[in-house]
Chain A
Amino acid sequence: MIEFKNVTKEYPPNLVKEKKTALKNISFEIKDGEFVTLCGRSGAGKTTILKLISCEEKPTSGLVMFDDTNTADVKKSDAYLIRQKIGFIFQDYKLLPYKTVYENVAYALEAFDFNESLVKDEVMQVLELVGLENKVDHFPKELSGGEQQRVSIARALIHRPKIILADEPTGNLDPYNARDIIKILLKINESGSTVILSTHSKDTVNFLEKRVITLEDGRIIRDEENGVFSL
């Protein structure tokens, strides 16, 4: 379970940017197995919520709980323990360019010290799930955007995480590929993983008919079950 309690996140000023308050005193809970869409304009605070969950950032004030762990208490060197429970999907895919499709997916398992003899079967299984079993030896630059995103999903799924964080995963894709990706996310959710999807795509939000948390200027302005896009 994830819980945000009166969370504020401020980014200090630097040479090129003024001080920015990304989240202003927000509170919400996400139960295990939920599919939640974070919806809002660019800069509304969607990505900051995902970064706080994954221990990339710490809240300026308030409490972010991941299961029973206060993420503010997690040392940077121990953050991997939280991240091993998470699968990440990004708008820009974030694949390792010098690794093949197979190696990108297997890397996540290797990092967890997974039983080596099972790695190949596990990777092939998940690549079949996303329809890339014939592209195992390709490098990311040899794939289309949709294919790269499917590799990213395969990598996020390979270690069967409790939670999937998807940050604008359809942002760089055409509508057909975008719809495929959303369907895969729904399938993942049906298999029991919690999915938190950040998007500003009206079509995606309305297609899902799941819980929608709408953000505006760092505040939650709406939190609805079976919500729709309304900004």
Chain B
Amino acid sequence: MIKYIRKMFKNGWEYFWRQGFLSFATALVIFIATILGTALYFFQGGVMYLTQELKDKIDISVTFKEEVARDSILSIREELVNLPEVKNVEYISSEEAYDSFVKAHEGDKYLEALELISVNPFLPSLRIQTKQPSQYKQISEYLKQDQFKDLVDEVNDYKRGVMIERLSSLTNSVSLAGILVTLFLSLIAVVVTFNTLRLSIYSQKEEIGIMRLVGAKNSFIRGPFLVQGMLCGVFAAALSFFLFLIIPFAFNEQLQTLFLGFDCLLFFKNNFFWVFILNLVIGIGLGLISSYFAVRKYLKD
């Protein structure tokens, strides 16, 4: 068996190497398919990042009446933190709110107006983040209950949750459309790869006939063609991996601006292993399967 596999690889390498141009052309077509597959993976990563970013930017702000004591607010915070829907609750005192305003509006006319009234108009508040955008409504209604009526000045407002939900659903739709387009392009790449390999093996139809006449078993003939297809796939995967390695390193800033802050380089570093495996699986898989079906035709006759 080992002897057979060694011969298969030796002959497959010979076909791959000696038919240089044909192998290169085939590998190039598989390369397009691997690029599309890997781009789809990056695209998914980007969409997840954007959705998360949107979710993190939205919260409910509950402002409390001026006379409400800090301890009362903190006990409400405790209650909220224990709710299953709540991800995070941040207490902002009126002083912190004032400082934050000053920092954000340094040097503009709003700050001048604030200095003129010489009192702190900001009320203490809780900033609440839920696990899902759809849960903002529930939290908002919870805080509008009678038990909080005397304490809460304003709940600001679950409509932001609705907005993020809409944005989120829009992002999901865009993501789905992107996946469908990429899948469609990938399908085209698969068909083109299959046909390229079929043509490449068609050009060796006569040689397959000779091998059969010389007394070679079908498996002995098929093996090297599978290895040849696999090597084309490995070559394509290596090219594609190299491309996805170079581009984020060289153009990460530009890509970050283009993809609304999505850090391609960080994504690549965090998913280095999976990007590598994905490229190999697509490349080798396409090369092997296409070769198998292409050569099968001539072994059946």
Complex: A56 Cα to B215 Cα, angstroms: 12
- Return chain A residues, CB-CB under 8 Å to B220: 110-111
Q: Is A94 located at the chain interface by the 8 A CB criterion?
A: yes
Cross-chain contact B14 with A98 (CB below 8 angstroms)? yes
Q: Which residue of B is nearest A98, CB measured?
A: B18
Known: A97-B207, A98-B14, A99-B14. Is A108-B214 also a contact (CB below 8 A)?
A: yes
Set B7, B14, B215: member contacting A84, Cβ < 8 A: B215
Interface centre among B215, B216, B300 (most CB of A within 10 A): B215
Within 8 A of A (CB), among B244-259: none
Cross-chain contact A83 with B212 (CB below 8 angstroms)? yes
The size bracket of the interface on A is: 20 to 34
Cross-chain contact B214 with A155 (CB below 8 angstroms)? yes
Within 8 A of B (CB), among A75-116: 76-77, 79-80, 83-84, 86, 88, 94-99, 103, 107-108, 110-113, 116
- Return chain A residues, CB-CB under 8 Å to B19: 98
Cross-chain contact B3 with A116 (CB below 8 angstroms)? yes
- Return chain B residues, CB-CB under 8 Å to A108: 214-215
- Return chain B residues, CB-CB under 8 Å to A113: 3-4
Known: A77-B218, A97-B207, A98-B19. Is A88-B3 also a contact (CB below 8 A)?
A: no
Q: Is A54 located at the chain interface by the 8 A CB criterion?
A: yes
- Return chain A residues, CB-CB under 8 Å to B218: 77, 80
Cross-chain contact B7 with A110 (CB below 8 angstroms)? yes
Complex: A206 Cα to B213 Cα, angstroms: 29
Q: Is B217 located at the chain interface by the 8 A CB criterion?
A: yes
- Return chain B residues, CB-CB under 8 Å to A79: 212
Q: Which residue of B is nearest A78, CB measured?
A: B217
Complex: A77 Cα to B4 Cα, angstroms: 18
Q: Which residue of A is nearest B216, CB measured?
A: A111
Q: Is B276 located at the chain interface by the 8 A CB criterion?
A: no
User: How would residues 217 to 236 of chain B score, 1 for a CB under 8 Å from any chain A CB and 0 otherwise?
Assistant: 11010000000000000000
Q: Is B15 located at the chain interface by the 8 A CB criterion?
A: yes
Distance to closest chain B CB from A101 (angstroms): 14
Cross-chain contact B14 with A86 (CB below 8 angstroms)? no
Majority SS of interface residues in chain B? helix
Cross-chain contact A111 with B213 (CB below 8 angstroms)? no
Known: A99-B14, A110-B7, A111-B220. Is A94-B213 also a contact (CB below 8 A)?
A: yes
Cross-chain contact A88 with B14 (CB below 8 angstroms)? no
Q: Is B187 located at the chain interface by the 8 A CB criterion?
A: no
Set A54, A98, A110: member contacting B15, Cβ < 8 A: A98
- Return chain B residues, CB-CB under 8 Å to A155: 214
Q: Which residue of A is nearest B10, CB measured?
A: A110
Q: Which residue of B is nearest A108, CB measured?
A: B214
Q: Is B210 located at the chain interface by the 8 A CB criterion?
A: yes
Set B18, B211, B300: member contacting A107, Cβ < 8 A: B211
Within 8 A of A (CB), among B183-213: 206-207, 209-213
Complex: A113 Cα to B215 Cα, angstroms: 11
- Return chain B residues, CB-CB under 8 Å to A54: 213
Q: Which residue of B is nearest A116, CB measured?
A: B3
Known: A80-B216, A98-B19, A99-B14. Is A111-B210 also a contact (CB below 8 A)?
A: no
Cross-chain contact A111 with B207 (CB below 8 angstroms)? no
Complex: A217 Cα to B209 Cα, angstroms: 27
Cross-chain contact A80 with B207 (CB below 8 angstroms)? no
Interface centre among B14, B209, B213, B218 (most CB of A within 10 A): B213
Q: Is A150 located at the chain interface by the 8 A CB criterion?
A: no
Task: For the A-B complex with A94-B206, A94-B209, A155-B214 known, give 13 more contacts whose Cβ atoms are closer than 8 Å.
Answer: A56-B213, A76-B300, A77-B218, A79-B212, A80-B215, A80-B216, A88-B213, A94-B210, A98-B14, A98-B18, A111-B217, A113-B3, A116-B3
5 CB < 8 A contacts A-B:
A80-B212, A84-B215, A94-B206, A94-B213, A96-B207
